[in-house]
Amino acid sequence: MLFVPVTLCMVVVVATIKSVSFYTEKNGQQLIYTPFTEDTDTVGERLLNSVLNTIIMISVIVVMTIFLVVLYKYRCYKFIHGWLILSSLMMLFWFSFMYLGEVFKTYNLAMDYPTVAMIIWNFGVVGMICIHWKGPLQLQQAYLIAISALMALVFIKYLPEWSAWVILGAISVYDLVAVLCPKGPLRMLVETAQERNEPIFPALIYSSAMIWMVGMANPARHAEPTNQDTGTFCLISAYNPLALTMLRGVKLGLGDFIFYSVLVGKAAATGGDWNTTLACFVAILIGLCLTLLLLAIFKKALPALPISITFGLVFYFSTDNLVRPFMDNLAAHQFYI
């Protein structure tokens, strides 16, 4: 169910990282959320800088999430909608234009501006319609996977090395806290949405079920009270507040897609070893399985990041440092285990 989209997103990110060198080139540019550089003299300084970067990044995410929850509580739907539309506009037009440009550069394809304008215009407009209004479910799913992959690629390019790993760890802790604590912002968001019997913003979640199409049009419209019964299955993530009681189908926040892909993409970017990438991929999928199992047992909103990211990080570091020399030696002698 959720394996196919998560796998697809990761495959797109890994394929891009391995072929388009733009996303692995570091030219000193960093996001404003991670101002401390990692080009320091000592290891201790580098570690300190990455921890500081993480603190800033996580605080920005916390502030934005709390802001979103406050807006939702006071029913400022137009503001939230405008914000979501602006961010998806940027993803669908600007980032995909950059991506297309880099792909053309990598494969040395000549292209003219009018053709690119047509392509990007069509891609973007259909994406906006599918995500924010109505469209075929599979097309909407494809667009959500595409923007998650683009966002993950941006993170992989602009986050410095050590900061990225520390941020991944910190954000899974934040996810755990925000969803499970009684005063956590994401939990409050879900409970408010449940009280008002409303579906949450389609731009932020990936849904695997058909029924979602009914609730997509206008979140201010009250859904039927029959929504309340069995099977509330949803997974929440830190970066995106998430959904609600649905009759069938599992939902996963786009932030989960993004951070899974960041982890696998970074594993693919650092070092040419495919074993590490494969190990992280399997670890994340197992984490997702376990989370879905817990979801089936507890039947309430759960954070999707902690288990997967923990497994992913453990397997990344151990495969890179322990398994890689072992497998390299075995391959050199052609021994098989």
Residues that bind another protein (CB under 8 A): 1, 3, 272-275, 278-279, 282-283, 285-286, 289, 296-297, 315, 318-319, 321-323, 325-331, 333-337
Catalytic residue status for 320: no
Helix (H) or strand (E) holding 314: helix 305-318
Q: Tell which residue, 98, 240, 205, has the closest CA to residue 158.
A: 98
**Shortest reach from residue 319's CB to another protein, in Å:** 7
Taking a C-beta distance cutoff of 8 angstroms, is the pair 109, 119 a contact?
Answer: no
Minimum CB–partner distance for residue 1 and another protein (Å) = 6
Q: Where are the beta strands (DSSP E) in 169-327?
A: 205-207, 234-236, 251-253, 302-303
Contact 193, 200 (CB under 8 A): yes
**Residue nearer to another protein on the CB measure, 16 or 319:** 319
* Given 39, 229, 256, 320, the catalytic residue: 256
Reported residue count of the chain is 337
Shortest Å, Cβ 282 to another protein:
5
Tell me whether residue 110 or residue 332 sits nearer to another protein (CB atom).
332
180-186-191-193 Cα dihedral, nearest 10 degrees: -160
Which is the catalytic residue, given 112, 175, 320, 328?
175
Tell me which amino acid residue 73 is: K
Q: Cβ neighbours of residue 215 under 8 Å, at least 6 residues apart?
A: 199, 223
Count how many Cα atoms sit within 13 Å of the Cα of residue 66 in the half-sphere of its side chain: 9
**Minimum distance of another protein from residue 311's CB (angstroms):** 9
Q: Which is nearer to another protein, 29 or 230 (CB)?
A: 230
**Nearest residue (CB) to another protein, 102 versus 273:** 273
256 is an active site residue: yes
Specify the amino acid at residue 262.
Answer: V
Smallest separation, CB 46 to another protein (Å): 25
**Distance between CA 75 and CA 109 in Å, rounded?**
49
User: Which residue lies nearer to another protein by CB, 106 or 329?
Assistant: 329
Catalytic residues: 175, 256
